[in-house]
Structure 1
Amino acid sequence: MARVDRRMILVGGMVLTLAGLALAGCGIADSRSPVPDFMRAREADPPPPETAPDVGTLVSKELDLIFLPSSYPRDVRVSPPHHDLRSDAWIACVRAELTSATGTPLGSQTYRVTIAKGEIADRRRVEHEDNCASEHYTPVAATK
């Protein structure tokens, strides 16, 4: 019986030691802990921002992604890119003179393009809050 008691005490001590070590790992000081700065874990630095894309070159290569080829886009113009506040992407406005499927002129149409990782990720018709009306546009040669 004495051996059983010693084993139980030894096993119980080991369990308590392991539980204490496991719980001690939870106490690492993060950025919100009430400890001095030198004891806190550092937050990861944000990734560096992607460089601004060359919107004119990208649009001239991928014109069919923005406008239907049957709309015969001409007089294509682009705005400078602006960093999207909600993501790591860039936003630019693209304007062109378009023709409808029946051949009647549609006039100047503007689209907002989202550029991520050097590619056009999304395009949509401009809405009032997009502020494309106040942009300065530069002409683009529509070459494929």
Structure 2
Amino acid sequence: METKLLVPAVELAAFMNTGWPGEDWYLDDHAEYLWETTFTTGTLGQIYEARDPAALLNLHLYDGRVRWQGPGRDPTGGRGYRLSDLFLRWRRTRHDALLVAYVPREKLPTVSASLKEAGCLVVNGDESAPPAPPELVTIS
């Protein structure tokens, strides 16, 4: 049975942009076509930008080995790290959390304003986002 580790595309992009171990590491043995169809080249300082920020990805399908390519001895002894292990370690050290929610279009301005007022960063307040299936979200 395949295990799933579902993460929002925007969170995986944030890890790749801010949580990567450094320039001396590269991603090997991964499903390159998935990366190419899920992410675009971001703006300066944002190497990865999710095409659909709210998409839930099974991280195990994107997994690969993060391997050493820097000078000196490989700190992993040639084993490298699993991308999912580094991602989860990064996620545990964060002091913020990512919330993905589908909001009725008519309530989007109110919800976005409330989140911004609370000091939150609204990643995608786009009205073109698809509506949530009714059985998943009910806002009264």
| Alignment TM class, shorter chain as reference | under 0.3
| Structure having greater relative contact order (Cα 8 Å, sep ≥ 6) | 2
TM-score, with length taken from structure 2: 0.25
TM-score, with length taken from structure 1: 0.25
Larger Rg: 1
